[in-house]
Chains A and B, each alone.
Chain A
């Protein structure tokens, strides 16, 4: 039985925003500076050999992909390590469910907050990417919405894993087997046409593939290429949202 109050979820979201203002500087490197390093090393470095991909300057090609990955990492770190520490070490969740908030409110609030972090990191990175010519259309104004929807998907998956994992050590599997492969094979650094057909088919199931596609399409002003992926992400978000809520209730209320 689900017991969700959006008001409760919003209040938990507000609490996370307040916490974030305190920890902003320590969270900056992993979520923001790393993609900037990739952009400089690959986009600018490799880009001086490899000038164009699909008719787009290579540095701009990589920058748009990395913006989507910044959104993925923002949500994923929040809903895995951050959420787990609060749950298992600080025992903050245990305390919060003694207030009128339910375990489901907490899950939904956490997922919304993870998606908010996607918007923050994705947009901040996009601003940097714009300096490298990655933003060429007003359609790019829709990108925060893309980051948000993609963030919902990554948050829901990350929090579901957090609710199931018996130990913080297992997150390395989540990253090595799920997050990093998406980072490598979602078309951020090269078009997937370069790889065997089955890899392209498999990529269709990866949320990051769709986030990258939609980001690139809006940034370069080809919205027709974006809608399908945006729809994919939206449906995935709707389907997945209840999963961490159910799992977290099971973990918190015995």
Chain B
């Protein structure tokens, strides 16, 4: 069995004249959790849809389990589970029936589907809700049920499009815990997310996408070190101070800097030293915060701060 689960080479998807995915290459290895990060419209979801064969590539190579997505969609789909961004449960059916019906799509007998449904409802802690209708479940429960449903075929690859968007912190942690358990069980995962914390928590490797291209790729900690340094010193400028002059004096203190509105971010390996040197300069500033650099810093540096609609 190949160690490469998904292999993309020079993958392109055009919708009319729009290049939603513009020549990307990546690999997802067996057993890892791979994350796509990017602003809205970056091409994350389109890429995922090509992997689960709901969008056909315009150009390039895309193989899942060494099978070409254009030629073997049924065989690929038999081995993957998909958790959509939107809730796509059958609302008129009960919790358990939603799982049974899905099991049937994958060719399971009713008896086998029922056996797995019982186990999965235990796994996502919905056993007590088996006979309830979908509208009676909270958002977090619905998301857990979506995950259970995606697992009914015992897939080797799980694809999750923004698995925790819109959930409260408790529900989000509950989902994370399940996903970590699944990873320990050896299930490969590909996810998209807007939450940098989620990517740092779950992903072994991430690809940051913008404008249909991959702008950086690697383990989250490595990307942080490479693009944001180890620590960030956030300097709040005085409202009426000589901003440009202050920035000019701060700049040599760190390896990299960024100005956003009335704040200056200094990226550095040694935040303590920067803060110390800054004190001795006696600049007109309102406040200083020292914090660890995060994936969010990398993300914003690479994709910019412009709002995406």
A11 to B110, CA, bound (A): 11
Bound Cα distance A90, B87 (Å): 8
Question: Contact at A94–B73, with CB atoms within 8 Å?
Answer: no
Given A91-B86, A102-B73, also A252-B92 (CB < 8 A) = no
User: How many Å lie between the Cα of A99 and that of B74 in the bound state?
Assistant: 8
B102 contacts the other chain (Cβ, under 8 Å)? yes
Give the number of A-B contacts (CB < 8 Å).
68
Stretch of A15-23, A54-62, A217-225 with 4 or more beta carbons under 8 angstroms from chain B? A15-23
Interface size class of A (residues with CB under 8 A): 20 to 34
Q: Are B90 and A19 in contact (CB under 8 A)?
A: yes
C-alpha spacing A7/B107, complex, angstroms: 9
In the assembly, what is the distance between CA of A95 and CA of B53, in Å? 12
B178 close to A (CB within 8 Å): no
Q: Does B4 contact A (CB under 8 A)?
A: no
Q: Decide if B277 is an interface residue (CB 8 Å cutoff).
A: no
B97 near A18 (CB under 8 angstroms)?
A: yes
Residue among A18, A23, A90, A94 making CB contact with B54, cutoff 8 Å = A94
Give 1 or 0 for each of B139-163: 1 = CB within 8 Å of chain A CB: 0000000000000010000000000
Inter-subunit contact A100/B93 (CB<8 Å): no
Assess the B104–A22 pair: CB atoms within 8 A. Answer: no
Contact of B55 among A7, A22, A254 (CB under 8 A): A254
Minimum distance in angstroms from B176 CB to a CB of chain A: 23
| Stretch in B28-36, B77-85, B187-195, B241-249 with 4+ CB within 8 Å of A | B77-85
Contact B106 A99, beta carbon cutoff 8 Å? yes
Question: Which residues of A are found within 8 Å of B104, using beta-carbon distances?
Answer: 11, 14-15
* A61: min CB distance to chain B, Å: 38
CB distance from A25 to the nearest CB of B (A): 12
Asked whether, in the complex, the Cβ of B102 is within 8 Å of the Cβ of A99, the reply is: yes
Give the complex CA separation of A102 and B102 in angstroms: 14
Closest to A15 in B: B101
Within 8 Å CB of B77, what residues of A?
98-100
Chain A neighbourhood of B74, CB < 8 A:
3, 5, 100, 102
Contact A253 to B55, CB < 8 A, known contacts A99-B105, A99-B106, A100-B74 = yes
Find chain A residues with CB under 8 A from B101 CB. 14-15, 18
Any B CB within 8 A of the CB of A8: yes
In the complex, A44 has a CB within 8 A of chain B? no
- Interface positions of A from 237 to 254, Cβ below 8 Å from B: 252-254
Q: B56: which A residues are within 8 A, CB to CB?
A: 253-254
Which one, A11, A252, A253, contacts B105 given CB within 8 A? A11
A92 to B87, CA, bound (A): 9
State how many angstroms separate the Cβ of A98 from the closest Cβ of chain B: 4
| 15 further A-B pairs in the complex, CB-CB below 8 A; given A97-B54, A98-B54 | A3-B74, A5-B74, A7-B107, A15-B104, A18-B93, A19-B90, A90-B88, A95-B84, A95-B88, A99-B102, A99-B105, A100-B74, A100-B106, A254-B15, A254-B55
Ordered by A's residue number, 7 sampled pairs between the chains whose C-beta atoms are within 8 Å are: A11-B105, A23-B92, A91-B88, A94-B54, A98-B52, A98-B82, A253-B56
User: Top 8 A-B pairs ranked by shortest CB distance?
Assistant: A95-B88, A99-B105, A98-B82, A22-B92, A15-B101, A91-B88, A11-B104, A100-B78
